[in-house]
Structure 1
Amino acid sequence: MSPDAASSPALTTLDLPAVLDLGYSFCPNDTFIFHALHAGLVRGPLPVREVLEDVQTLNEWALAGRLPITKISYRAYFGVMDRYVALRAGGALGRGVGPLIVTRGDVQDLNGRTVASPGALTTAELLLRLVFPQVNVVRMRYDEVMPAVARGEHAGQPVDAGLIIHESRFTFHEYGLTRLLDLGAWWEADTGLPLPLGAILVRRDLPLDVQRGLNAAVRASLEYAYAHPEAARAYIRENALEMSDEVIQAHIDLYVNPFSLDVGAEGERAVRELHRRAVTVGAAPETGLPLFVG
């Protein structure tokens, strides 16, 4: 979609594609939520076709408007609000869900040091910069961060610490790493709010009834997963990137919660506060657009 898509007329029913590409990650929380919709066990306003990618790739694709409905980091969402709006269902917010900073040894102040990051557009890196504004980062795919910290380097660059997300919070001890800071706990203590991590976006030029229908379909997909937990098990395992069954379940239990069914008033406040802070540090533009589908 072109950069001026937000100012172009909304699509009509005749303009809509036969199938909507739906982007989400390989992570168990996403495959758990979207399995029923992907498999046709619940119906939306239009059929969907899965597009599985890591979250940083999805973030980058959203900048280009590549997918009509996609998972994205909230940090990245703040840069594409002119063309996308967030669904109320399917996202990742909560308490105790934040990214961690891990090190090989006794490192306290990361200002002036180099941290391995899972991506410039991740909520994790925004939080890192809010706490340590003078940090240096070297970026890589999220599953490469812990090995890089354990080695102390990546592609010839020194690495003093790492910013870990997803299932890495359950496995960093296996790399001999120690936790320096839980950024989610820092956020909760500082704001009293749950931490917004990821959202499901739809294009703003889709008709409002389609946007609302997609929100209802994502919620129905999650409700189906709760009611039939065995239905998605093989699909989740197929995409879980060498996780044990215990880690898979811990991942789902942590990242899928009542905020995934509906962001709610408290979740909205949390997203607005994260956006306000991103604006303050120059990481996001101001906006008067609604952040969620009405």
Structure 2
Amino acid sequence: MSLSLFGRKRLPMVLQAENNECGLACLAMILHYHGLRTDLNCLRGRHGASGQGATLRSLIRIADCEKLAARALRVELDELVQLQTPAILHWDMNHFVVLRAMRGGKALVHDPASGETTHDSASLSRHFTGVALELTPAPTFERRQESARLGIGDLWQRSRGLWGSLLQLFVLSLLLQGFSLALPFYTQLFIDDVLVNHDLALLKILATGFFMVAVVRAFTDWLRARLVLYISNNISFQFSVNICRHLLRLPLDWFTRRHLGDILSRFGSLNNVRDFLSSGIVEVCIDALMVSGTLLLMFVYSATLTWVALIAVLCYLLLR
């Protein structure tokens, strides 16, 4: 977001995805700062991506299309403090960065290639070429949201049988939680009936039932682990196939504008998505049902003691 909770504008950090799109990344940061919450995909779709990278002239043209007033300046190091920030700086003769502010004689820089950096006068003299570009909103500038959002449904669009496997995993997890909730009832029967009345016959029944529940729980736990492994492998395989299919349809210049590590990282990021879909969603749902079921049983037994426990938990959270 461009505005903080107290109404102050905040400059986001936008990293370039291609070798030669530092200029677009800088414009995306400044547009976001002024209220147009866009991203590289939207800017790339409207203005294209040059294999040779952006020039100062092309940045001014794109800024004009985005309703930003641009002013190119020749600036000395001691004049950087007078720039209207955020501003774009020409860097290392072949790169663009965003100057966020000058504080204590140091420049706070958002570099699309390396992230947020701080430079003193010596470092600035080595990197800054003396060319800066001030960008301010024109009267026709519109503050809006246009970033392309990726829906959760897009992640498993081609994963066959995923919903059925997730349903099976949900049922097995629910059974395991049910076994956990049954333990207090077993303890109650053992204490109230077996120990008090010395009922050996009931003790044998409870012991047999507990043994059977333990066996069924162990089998269910094993089956759930196997199902999680199957779902994880299925999601990982389907996602990898989808990305490979998409990569093979891309033009050659798409690969020339990107680092090899950036392409490989797209495959590595599948692990987090896979873990989230195979266990994260199910665990959240099961934990919610577990808390709801436990609270319901507690209210059935004693509403007063339940409220005492809830207030104690609330006080503990507030004290932390």
TM-score of the pair, normalised by structure 1: 0.24
TM-score by length of 2: 0.22
Which structure has the higher relative contact order (CA within 8 Å, separation 6+)? 1
Greater per-residue strand proportion = 1
